[in-house]
Amino acid sequence: MTHIAVIGAGQAGSSLVAKLRKCGFDGEITLIGAEKVLPYQRPPLSKAYLLGEMELERLFLRPESFYAENNITLRLGTKVDAIDAAAKTLQIGDETLSYDQLVLTTGSQPRHLPAAIGGDLGGVHVVRDLKDVDAMAPAVTDGARALIVGGGYIGLEAAAVCAKRGVSVTLVEMADRILQRVAAPETSDYFRALHSAQGVDIREGVGLSHLEGDAGKVTCAVLADGTRLDVDFVVVGVGITPASELAADAGLEIENGIRTDELGRTSDPAIWAAGDCASFPYKGQQIRLESVPNAIDQAEVVAENLLGAEKAYVATPWFWSDQYDVKLQIAGLNSGYDNVVTRQGADGSMSFWYYTGDQLVAVDAMNDPRAYMVAKRLIEAGKTADKAIVADPEADLKPLLKA
Ligand SMILES: Cc1cc2nc3c(=O)[nH]c(=O)nc-3n(C[C@H](O)[C@H](O)[C@H](O)COP(=O)(O)OP(=O)(O)OC[C@H]3O[C@@H](n4cnc5c(N)ncnc54)[C@H](O)[C@@H]3O)c2cc1C
Ligand SMILES: NC(=O)c1ccc[n+]([C@@H]2O[C@H](COP(=O)([O-])OP(=O)(O)OC[C@H]3O[C@@H](n4cnc5c(N)ncnc54)[C@H](O)[C@@H]3O)[C@@H](O)[C@H]2O)c1
């Protein structure tokens, strides 16, 4: 019987095994995960779960019974140490496990601050796994003082939760502006103003020099410009690196993560990859997307291809973020844009439409689901949107879909 082994029991791994069964695969499936908990969704970790407004059980992607009922062997708390691609085996401690086809859905690891600048002090938290958030949550209390390092999604979402809980927050972003990696200046401006209005002190263009502590616990942060801040805890959101060591050690090609072709196959024909760890061809580049929609869609395509579909993965990038009462929805990738049209919606909603010449490439919509939906459908269809209509707050956007 064919055995498909999947390393990494997160968003992509769980989606992939479910899709395999949905497509009728009746061979053996083993889903192996280093974490001890059932596969769960990460987005609430920096939002509702950190706020204490979401139960642990609601994080789980599927109940435990799902895996048993679908005859999926779920091995939690189990780290794969090595892959022998020639022998088609996995090393797990002393055990050797054979596979016919292997999928890597190993996700990514958060960057840590170096120990040399105090990154190993108590009270310094990264936000990736459930255990990270469980360790940090007790510190998020009224009157506490926090430094947040990094103005990406992690930093800003954590800032929103902390501010809501009465924590006094300073956020430092080394780059010229927050959200530089993922959004355009207009969106950075919007979120800077939003956070400032909630009392978050955002400092851009300044990094962290080092952290100081007392009895092993952080007490003070010294910024690159010499500013000293007394702190009770520190949140580190300075990006991730794809978890590609297992693949690299097994001799697989690495290029911005684990290199795959458009089907999701790595340089070894029996090994596939999906999710945060995998790079894939997109408009002439080898890109990686760090998002839930990508993890699910790519994993599902790989599942179909494992069963012989020969289907190319066509990414339709979209992202979201919740901060205070603002829902940001992003469709498309704005790389290469050269002009932006602003649309002021009703009740303070707003959207920024990115164009390369006259071609719509992406949209950032704040509390404007209609603008987001219309733009997403246009981008996915390779269509554009008349700029005069977009800029006119009174104009109905729906007819754009029929143009
Ligand atoms: C706090 C937070 C909030 C986020 N919010 C959003 C959001 O709002 N919207 C959005 O689209 N995206 C969001 N993301 C990103 C999104 O969660 C990731 O892109 C997604 O989880 C990627 O799925 P994955 O399966 O590739 O990786 P993961 O979900 O990280 O799963 C990988 C799993 O592989 C395991 N693993 C790794 N190596 C081994 C090994 N050797 N042996 C066994 N197991 C191994 C890991 O322990 C991990 O459990 C957020 C991420 C974080 C951390
Ligand atoms: N809503 C969402 O989609 C969402 C929410 C949370 C997390 N995530 C994902 O989680 C992962 C990690 O998020 P992230 O925000 O850490 O990554 P990120 O790469 O988006 O942002 C990191 C930020 O930290 C800054 N930075 C790096 N080193 C610094 C330093 N020494 N001092 C000050 N600033 C520094 C960078 O310039 C960058 O702006 C990403 O994959 C992200 O997409 C997504």
Ligand found nearest the CA of 103: 1
pLDDT tens digits along 320-342: 999 999 999 999 998 889 999 99
Cβ atoms of 148 and 139 closer than 8 Å? no
pLDDT tens-place string over residues 263-283: 999 999 999 999 999 999 998
Whether residue 346 is predicted with pLDDT greater than 90 in this model: the reply is no
Residue type, 236: V
**pLDDT per residue as tens digits for the range 203-239:** 999 999 999 999 999 999 999 999 999 999 999 999 9
Regarding the beta carbon of 300 and ligand 2, being less than 6 Å apart is answered no
The answer to whether residues 13 and 105 touch, using CB atoms and an 8 Å cutoff, is yes
Please say if the pLDDT value at position 142 is more than 90.
yes
Q: What is the pLDDT of residues 160-185, one digit of tens each?
A: 999 999 999 999 999 999 999 888 89
Q: How far apart are CA 268 and CA 54, in angstroms?
A: 41
Q: Please report the pLDDT score of residue 137 as a whole number.
A: 97
Of the ligands numbered here, which is closest to the C-alpha atom of 17? 1
Residue 242 alpha carbon to ligand 2 centre in Å: 13
How distant, in Å, are the alpha carbons of 1, 111, 210 from that of 115?
48, 12, 10
pLDDT per residue as tens digits for the range 244-263:
999 999 999 999 999 999 99
Q: 172: Cβ below 6 Å to ligand 2? A: yes
Cα 150 to middle of ligand 2, angstroms: 6
- Given this model, what pLDDT does residue 97 score? 98
- Cβ–ligand 2 contact at 207 (below 6 Å): yes
Average pLDDT of the residues in 132-155: 98
> Backbone phi, then psi, for 232, in 5-degree steps?
-100, -30
Per-residue confidence (pLDDT) for residue 347, from 0 to 100: 85
Q: Which two tokens stand for residue 270?
A: 């029996």
* CA–centroid distance, residue 75 to ligand 2 (Å): 30
- Kindly state the average pLDDT of the residues 13-19: 98
| Band of pLDDT at residue 242, cut at 50, 70 and 90 | very high
| pLDDT value at residue 301 | 98
Percent of the chain with pLDDT over 90: 96
| pLDDT: which is higher, 353 or 345 | 353
The share of the chain scoring above pLDDT 70, in percent, equals 100
Closest ligand to Cα 257:
1
From the CA of 176, the nearest ligand is 2
Return the residue whose CA atom lies nearest to atom 50 of ligand 1. Answer: 43
Q: What is the pLDDT of residue 181?
A: 86
The predicted-structure confidence for 49-103, as pLDDT tens digits, reads as follows 999 999 999 999 999 999 999 999 999 999 999 999 999 999 999 999 999 999 9
Q: What is the mean pLDDT of the chain?
A: 97
Examine the pLDDT at 194 and tell me if it is beyond 90.
yes
pLDDT at 1: 85
Is residue 348 over pLDDT 90? no
Cα 255 to Cα 38, 181, 289, distances in angstroms: 30, 19, 13
d(CA 41, CA 300): 16
DSSP string, 130-171: HHHHHHHGGG--TT-EEEEE--SHHHHHHHHHHHHTT-EEEE
The rounded Å distance from CA 147 to ligand 1 centre is 24
Say how many Å lie between the CA of residue 276 and the centre of ligand 1. 7
Residue 375: its pLDDT value, please?
A: 97
Q: Could you tell me the domains of the chain? A: 3-109+241-306 (3.50.50.60), 112-238 (3.50.50.60), 325-402 (3.30.390.30)
State the pLDDT at residue 358: 97
pLDDT in tens, 111-129: 999 999 999 999 999 999 9
Ligand nearest, relative to CA of residue 40: 1
Nearest to 43 by CA among 284, 293, 235: 293
Q: Which residues line ligand 1 (CB under 6 A)?
A: 7-13, 32-35, 42-43, 45-46, 79-80, 105-107, 127-128, 154, 243, 246, 275-277, 290-293, 295, 319-321
Task: Please tell me the number of the ligand nearest to residue 318's CA.
Answer: 1
User: Which residue out of 153, 177, 181 has the highest number of ligand 2 atoms within 8 Å of its CB and is therefore the one to mutate?
Assistant: 153
Which residues are CB-contacts of 8 (< 8 A; sequence separation ≥ 6)?
A: 32, 33, 34, 104, 105, 106, 107, 243, 275, 277
Closest residue to atom 31 of ligand 2, CA basis: 207
Q: Whose CA is nearest to atom 4 of ligand 1?
A: 43
Going by alpha carbons, the residue nearest to atom 34 of ligand 1 is 8
Q: What ipTM describes this predicted complex?
A: 0.98
pLDDT value, residue 214: 98
CA of 92 to the centre of ligand 1 (A): 21
Distance 239 CA to ligand 2 centre (A): 4
Residue in 49, 154, 179, 195 to alter for ligand 2 test, most ligand atoms within 8 A of Cβ:
154
